[in-house]
Structure 1
């Protein structure tokens, strides 16, 4: 080999090496600029779980949220299985004051003394105090419409005129109202027609709560109509439909709701299984729904920390739930979940959609700077 050939070979090798390095850098740059998050991005992305219940004076929930880069909204609820409302709020105030960048809270009110003429003014004073202490929203629960009865033993529905002063007051203050009306649509169906296994198991074991067996109670349609009547009466209300506004069974029904009420948002709390059941049948339709309404959906779980829960076990279950939801919304992995028969495929939503659903929408809706 003469000097010229050796020099030429060296130049060619240099060109090849430079090209390979350039291609490698180009591929790395493309990966870094990917339009989608992966499982490895989970801890680094800011996230917000907008529907939890921190009902224990403990830091386990906070610690896990901080480890997984979450902020939380703990919601007080007029629910008999939870601590009394005043105790829920005391825990919320204590934790939000100690961890003001991690935890926020939503207040609620009791229906006790409903028939007293001073009920509405007393509730307003209570809520004003909670708002002054930092409450970001007010929750109204399904007891209104499903269990609470007035002095004449009539169910009080969410569109009852007696609630108008409260909703007018909150609308004037621009305070968001988180509404849980009715139950999943499955509650009004025969067991064999229910869309997810956890509903089948629950209502089979608790027939007293299975509305299909209680035709004397308001129908599903009556519950949704009352909720919509209430929103029609208060068009300036900032409303969050908890649990996908109890329309979890159909992305078409959710679309109609969001079209009818352009200022409303919905949260995903405890309804991911119903969404996954739909995506098993039509993945593209469900994915398109999330993309179309990316500004109107809030990530939420309904995770509850109670006095019975061991802290480390609770932290593990929280982390696992958050990871499972991240996989479904961010990747196209195939997996199984106990709620749904068959293989579930992830939606692999774009980064910009994820950032809104998981974080930016919550900060906007709850006016968190």
Structure 2
């Protein structure tokens, strides 16, 4: 796609300034000397028309100027005229384990974290959440403090995962230190590790480190800690890469809305999307006894066939669907087929806060056949209408088995 964009700019004779791999286009002067904006050239470019209109090749009506020409993309919020079923699902059909939440009470405004936590538990009761797994990413005293905050008042409602020690990763004793801290967190109450994230700069997210010194999931320095996770039966929630669009330039072809542009890293000195995805099979191959949960559908929800091949090849790989409502919602038939085929390998997670309506939107998406639901990106969603057997596995049965819980 990038080659197509560059060739189009070349064909159009457009001179631009490239910043971080993104071409910023100025106004253009035609052969007649009249000034035009680049979008007028896009209107007649075959590649632009193909991306925008598909095989229809156009809107089917004459294109004319009007007041919407001044509407900013970030403000565009079309109100649909579609009249269709709207099913309200107040509570999930089965008890639910949410395997992907964070320390949201810390973000509370105007009230204490403890009060916010109590309100969150009440919301979970109302929508059918039985247990939530808090991916703290914390170690040391920070992790110990969170253990006390969550487990003293609600010992049966939360499980906490710790993070990894990532200070002084270049020192010779680092591989030993990271294992020692993991064992300490485990003794204090950690029941897993996560969310361990690498979006291209390594686990420390330090862009100043030279590429050869960055700590990625498959780094030999982490071999001991992954082996210890297997020995202690601690599942590991890993976040590798991000949505593919984060590596595509933020231009007219960008798939996601400007809301997500903060995650864009096109042209940055970080691993590419494919470079990051290549880490996962290497990690799984090196540590077959360690249970890994690749969150956000392993950031490959846009290509479920490819993701299925990974699951088929590596039995120690599992997935969560957190924050990928837009992937399964825009391809409901393929997603339902995938979740049915791999019903024993996928877990439910949200990663989207504490709002009651958020949970209920998930139930509507997974349990009903509703159409053209408003989504978070700008893609309409379509309900998957999963079977009871698949829903129960997704919501709770897989958690009991994969997370090594005797009682959930």
Residue 185, structure 1, aligned to residue 239, structure 2: no
Q: Point out the more displaced range, 58-67 or 152-161.
A: 152-161
> Equivalents in 2 of 1:355, 1:157: separation in Å?
34
Q: Which has the higher helix share?
A: 1
Q: Which has the higher contact order (CA 8 A, sep 6+)?
A: 1
1:15-39 superposed Cα distances (whole Å, 9 cap, x missing partner): xxxxxxxxxxxxxxxxxxxxxxx85
Conservation of the 8 A alpha-carbon contact between 2:92 and 2:363: no
User: Offset at 1:85?
Assistant: 6.5
SS of 1:50's partner is strand
Deviations 1:299-348 (A, max 9, x none): 111134xxxxxxxxx5xxx2111100100100001233243545422010
Q: Deviations over 1:107-154 (max 9, x none)?
A: 111311112222222222221122122222111222626833797663
The answer to whether residue 168 in structure 2 is matched with residue 131 in structure 1 is no
Corresponding residue of 1:147:
205
Structure 1 residues 180 and 355: alpha-carbon distance in aligned structure 2, compared to 1, 3 A threshold: same
Q: Is residue 76–residue 89 contact of structure 1 (8 Å, CA) maintained in 2?
A: no
Runs (5+) with no aligned partner, structure 2: 1-86, 106-112
Alignment CA distance shift 1:289-1:87 (3 Å) = same
Say whether residues 1:202 and 2:266 are aligned partners: no
Compared CA separation, residues 186 and 261, structure 1 to 2 (3 A): same
Residue of 64, 75, 84 corresponding to 2:135: 75
**Distance 1:109-1:293 versus aligned 2 partners, 3 A rule:** same
The alpha-carbon deviation at position 41 of structure 1 amounts to: 7.0
Query: Which of 317, 323, 337 in structure 1 is aligned with 2:360?
Result: 323
Decide which moves more: 84-93 or 232-241: 84-93
Tell whether the 8 Å contact from 1:138 to 1:178 is kept in structure 2 after alignment.
Answer: yes
1:88 CA displacement: 4.8
CA distance in 1, matches of 2:292, 2:322: 15
After superposition, the C-alpha distances for 1:287-307 in whole angstroms (9 at most, x for unaligned) are 111111111111111134xxx
CA distance in 2, matches of 1:362, 1:122: 30
Does structure 1 conserve the Cα–Cα contact (< 8 Å) formed by 2:329 and 2:380?
A: no
Q: In structure 1, what is the equivalent of residue 266 of structure 2? A: 212
For 1:181-234, what per-residue CA distance to the aligned partner results, in whole angstroms no more than 9, with x for missing partners? 11211111233444443xx4321xx3xx422232x3211111111222121111
Say whether the 8 Å CA contact 2:182–2:225 is kept in structure 1: no
Q: Which runs of 5+ in 1 are unaligned?
A: 1-37, 79-83, 305-313
Matched, 1:98 2:153: yes
| Structure 2 match to 1:161 | 220
Instruction: Provide the residue aligned with 1:235 in structure 2.
Output: 288
CA contact (8 A) 2:89 2:364 kept: no
> Quick check: 2:364–2:383 contact (8 Å CA) kept in 1?
yes
Query: How far apart are the structure 1 equivalents of 2:89 and 2:283?
Result: 44
Deviation at 1:269, TM superposition (A): 1.3
Give the distance between the partners of 1:201 and 1:340, measured in 2 at CA: 8
SS at match of 1:179: strand
Q: Would you say how many aligned residue pairs link Structure 1 and Structure 2?
A: 304
Contact map agreement 2:94 2:391 (CA 8 A) in 1:
no
Where does residue 13 of structure 1 map in the other structure?
none
**What displacement does 1:87 show?**
2.5
CA contact (8 A) 1:195 1:274 kept: no
CA distance in 2, matches of 1:55, 1:343: 27
Which residue of structure 1 lines up, in the alignment, with residue 26 of structure 2? none
| Alpha-carbon distance in 2 for matches of 1:40, 1:225 | 39
Where 1:337 maps in the other structure, the secondary structure is coil
* RMSD, aligned CA: 2.4
1:247 aligns with 2:305: no
Find the aligned partners of 2:271 and 2:379 in 1 and give their Cα distance.
33
The structure that has the greater radius of gyration is: 1
